[in-house]
Structure 1
Amino acid sequence: MDSRKDNRKYGAYLARQFYNGKKPIRLIEDEFPYSETDSDLKELFRLIKNTPKRKGLFKASKEKYENYIINVYQLIEDLESDLKQEIIKEVLINDKNELLLKISGNGNPTYQYVYREAAGVYWDDNEKGFKSTPIKEWTASKWFLQISSIVKSCLGVDLVIDEKTRWNKISDTAINEIKNAYNKKHSAFGN
């Protein structure tokens, strides 16, 4: 992957961190991969620095703020559009009662950093897959969506199930819930 793609994904990642309240503006300003040659990155940085106020005397109207958010997230999605895909070869619940999504390839060394999101998602290098914490309150389908979402937003990787995906130690009900949730999510985003 070239540095331009890396910068675009990292810029999108930082923007999501900022808008989700996980990183303050001063850290974004220090870390943002500013580029004179990438107009999308320049625009995203400008939008972050000029976020309309939602409270106080000079707050933006609801309509203006909603339009701003729509524009920002469209730009973030454009920057993320170079997503890498990993095919899920097997979905299973392991002996520790963790949902494990094994991928077809060997993964990438950066996958280990998914834990930094503090969202209960981890990379298992021995199994070559992403896993949840032990399943307690959440269903397997909710964990599937959590893992997929975190991996996509943190690593820029879209986890894909296909007709060859195997299901192990998962009830038929859970399989149907996962497939329905997956199909709903992917049809909603046009993937």
Structure 2
Amino acid sequence: MESDTIAEVSIDDSGRLHVRPSRTQFPHVWRAAMEVYWNESSTTLHSPPPRSWSYVDWYRQIVAAAKDEYGCTLVLTPETQWVNVPAKLREAVLAASRHEA
């Protein structure tokens, strides 16, 4: 199975969670039918703004969609940049990522 590091995790002005892989692109991730999309201009996977799901749920969904549709495991590293992500949420995402590893 292929893997890629996550270069950046961010939340945009619309409230969508974005995950930017370091090198892999996922233009057809929508085929996984998981409400995860590829933004060509920002080269990020993104969710819709949270409704009933938390950002941690959407992070898990984004990572799962990349794995299900492309066979690519996305991995957070100490070099991952966090943009517009509150510290508490960052810690929750990191904890969820460690739990799934």
User: What is the TM-score normalised by the length of structure 2?
Assistant: 0.92
Q: Supply the AA of the counterpart residue of 1:174.
A: L
**Residue in structure 2 matching 1:177, options 89, 92, 95:** 92
* Partner in structure 2 of residue 89 of structure 1: 7
Q: Which has the larger radius of gyration?
A: 1
Residue 47 of structure 2 aligns to a residue in which SS? strand
Q: Please list every run of 5 or more consecutive structure 2 residues that lacks an aligned counterpart in the other structure.
A: none
Q: CA deviation at 1:136?
A: 2.1
1:166 equivalent in alignment to 2:81? yes
The separation in 2 between residues aligned to 1:125 and 1:87, in whole angstroms, is 18
Q: CA deviation at 1:90?
A: 0.7
Misfit runs of 4+, over 3 Å:
none
* Partner in structure 1 of residue 32 of structure 2: 117
Q: CA deviation at 1:159?
A: 0.5
User: What is the TM-score normalised by the length of structure 1?
Assistant: 0.51
1:157 equivalent in alignment to 2:75? no
**Are the aligned partners of 2:56 and 2:92 in contact in 1 as well (CA < 8 Å)?**
yes
Q: CA deviation at 1:113?
A: 1.2
The separation in 1 between residues aligned to 2:21 and 2:40, in whole angstroms, is 11
User: RMSD of the alignment, in Å?
Assistant: 1.1
Q: Residues 69-148 of structure 1 correspond to what in structure 2 (within 5 A)?
A: 83-105=1-23, 107-108=24-25, 111-148=26-63
The separation in 2 between residues aligned to 1:93 and 1:138, in whole angstroms, is 15
More helix by share: 1
More strand by share: 2
